[in-house]
Amino acid sequence: MKTHRITRHLDLSAQLRAELENSFFSSKDFSDLWGAVGGHSVWWVVEKKGEQIAVLPGVEFGKKLVRRLQCMPDGCYARLAVADGFIRQQKELGALIIDNIANYGYAKTYITDFDNLFDPPDKFDLISHTTTLCDISESDWQPPDKKLQAQIRKAQREGVEVRRFNVISDFDSLISLVKKTEDRHEQRPKYDRTFFEALARLDKLDQRVIWYFCEHDHAPVASQINFVCDDTLLSWQTFSDRKFSNLKANQLMLQTAINEATASGVLKFNPGLSPQDAEGLKAYKLRWGGVSYNYNTLVRRQGLGRVL
């Protein structure tokens, strides 16, 4: 078996292309989304006797000595697709790809292994993560926390309007909410208008993006971006105006997203990771119930990647 890097989606076999589309984080459109922030889609492929039997998609950033690989960017997960007849060799194929990635010469490599598929090789360091997975398979699911239930009812009584994000009418308000959120956290915005425009196009193409926008008395209150990956709803990004926090719009948006997801067969809800120092946010997410789930990001730094 041999492993090599492919930069053209059409160079993948028809079967592997189809397998990649089965999971949102491995789909071509999701990989291509990151072109809006300078990324380039790449696929690491295993071949056996000329047949492509496994592929790991990723996104490269930078060039030459500072080229970096992420599978996948910003809290999203690596997804290994395997051809029919090779599922039992999944771990072996994954290990082969990971070893070849380590030897390729990336300045930095980040592989987020949510499925705990990859046995951590010596060439990588590990960053441990803990999130919560909630069973939302019941059609009438609601969070077990009584206070959270009351907050959702309050938002409904206050007349908070939750609807799908509309790029034409809501875009400028979204950018304002993004700025207010990042200012509150004393951070620079991760994404600019170009990225959100690209994400809005993906939202139109793929039902696995669940993107809400919230208003109250015609004032923008909050916006929330969720992804459906396999059988799980992931709360990915939330932007809000703190002066409206008493309306509890974020809680109502999440419950609305969960209701929509369960109606389409989604079984689990992941409220997402929180920054290490965000104790209040961690406590809020725990109130949605569920059980703790542990996974790792594999990290490798070489050359300039050790100092940049």
- For 159, residues 6+ apart whose C-beta sits below 8 A from its C-beta are 216
Contacting residues for 226 by C-beta, under 8 A, at least 6 apart: 209, 210, 211, 212, 233, 234, 235, 236, 257, 261
**All CATH 3.40.630.30 domain ranges in the chain, comma separated:** 2-130+295-306, 137-266
Is 189's pLDDT higher than 90?
no
Q: 31-35, 62-66, 77-81, 290-294: which has the minimum mean pLDDT?
A: 290-294
Mean pLDDT for 221-236 is 97
* Overall residue count recorded for the chain in this entry: 308
For residue 41, pLDDT beyond 70: yes
pLDDT at 99: 94
The tokens for 73 are: 């960017």
* Residues 36-65, mean pLDDT to the nearest whole number: 96
Q: How confident is the model at residue 174 (pLDDT cuts 50, 70, 90)?
A: very high
Region 111-131: mean pLDDT is 90
pLDDT bracket for residue 272 (50, 70, 90) = confident
For residue 207 the two structure tokens come to: 């039902």
Assign domain 2-130+295-306 to a CATH class.
alpha beta
Per-residue pLDDT, averaged over 105-113, amounts to 96
Predicted local confidence at residue 294, as pLDDT = 92
- Asked whether residue 230 carries a pLDDT value surpassing 70, the answer given is yes
Residue 40: CB atoms within 10 Å: 16
Nearest Cα residue to 124 out of 69, 66, 64, 205: 69
DSSP structure string for 27-89:
SHHHHHHGGGGT-EEEEEEEEETTEEEEEEEEEEES-GGG-EEEESSTT-----EE-TT-GGG
CATH number of 137-266: 3.40.630.30
> Does residue 285 surpass a pLDDT of 90?
no
Q: Report, as an integer, the average pLDDT of 161-178.
A: 96
**What are the backbone dihedrals phi and psi of residue 227, each rounded to the nearest 5 degrees, phi first?**
-125, 145
* Secondary structure of residue 230 in the 3-state scheme: coil
Angle between helices 249-263 and 146-157 (to 10 degrees): 100
What's the pLDDT score for residue 275? 65
Q: Is the pLDDT reported for residue 75 higher than 90?
A: no
Q: What is the mean pLDDT of the chain?
A: 93
Instruction: Check residue 277 and give its pLDDT.
Output: 66
**pLDDT at res. 185:** 81
Share of the chain above pLDDT 70, in %: 98
Residue 283 pLDDT level (bands cut at 50, 70, 90): confident
The per-residue pLDDT for 125 is 94
Residue 120 has pLDDT above 80, yes or no: no
DSSP single-letter state for residue 97:
H
Instruction: Write down the pLDDT at residue 279.
Output: 73
Q: For residues 238 and 254, is the Cβ–Cβ distance under 8 A? A: no
Q: Could you read off the pLDDT of 8-24 as tens digits, one per residue?
A: 999 999 999 999 999 99
pTM for the predicted model, two decimal places: 0.94
What is the predicted pLDDT for the residue at 186? Answer: 83
